[in-house]
Amino acid sequence: MSKRTSLKDIADKVGVSTALVSYVINGQEKEKRVGKEVVKKIRTAALELNYQPNQIARSLRKGSTKTIGLIVADIANPFFGNLARVIEDEASRLGYTVIFGSSDEDSGKMESLVDILINRQVDGFIIVPAEGTELQIKALQEKKIPLVLTDRYFIDVTTNYVALDNYGASFDAITHLIANGYKKIGMIAYKSNLIHMQERVRGYIEAMKANNLENEIRLEEVRYNYTMIDNEKAMNNLAIGEKKIDAILFATNSLTVSGLYCIKKLNLKIPEDLAIIGFDGNEAFDFFYTPLTYIEQPIEEMGKEAVGMLVEQIDGSTKIAHIKLRHTLIKRQSSL
Query: What is the topology classification, in CATH, of domain 7-53?
Result: 434 Repressor (Amino-terminal Domain) (1.10.260)
Angle at CA of residue 260, ends 223 and 214, nearest 5°? 65
Q: What is the DSSP letter of 335?
A: G
285, 289, 293, 298: CA torsion to nearest 10: 20
* DSSP element (H, E) containing 222: strand 218-222
Query: What is the topology classification, in CATH, of domain 64-164+299-325?
Result: Rossmann fold (3.40.50)
263/221 Cα distance (integer angstroms): 17
Per-residue pLDDT 10s for the chain (336 aa) are 456 788 888 989 999 988 888 888 877 788 788 888 888 888 898 888 888 766 545 554 455 789 999 999 999 999 999 999 999 999 999 999 999 999 999 999 999 999 999 988 899 999 999 999 999 999 999 999 999 999 999 999 999 999 999 999 999 999 999 999 999 999 999 999 999 999 999 999 999 999 999 999 999 999 988 888 998 999 999 988 778 999 999 999 899 989 998 998 899 999 999 999 999 877 767 667 788 999 999 999 999 999 999 999 999 888 999 999 999 999 999 998
Same topology between domain 64-164+299-325 and domain 166-298+330-335: yes
256/249 Cα distance (integer angstroms): 8
Provide the whole-model pTM. 0.80
Q: Which CATH architecture has domain 166-298+330-335?
A: 3-Layer(aba) Sandwich (3.40)
The full set of domain ranges for the chain reads 7-53, 64-164+299-325, 166-298+330-335
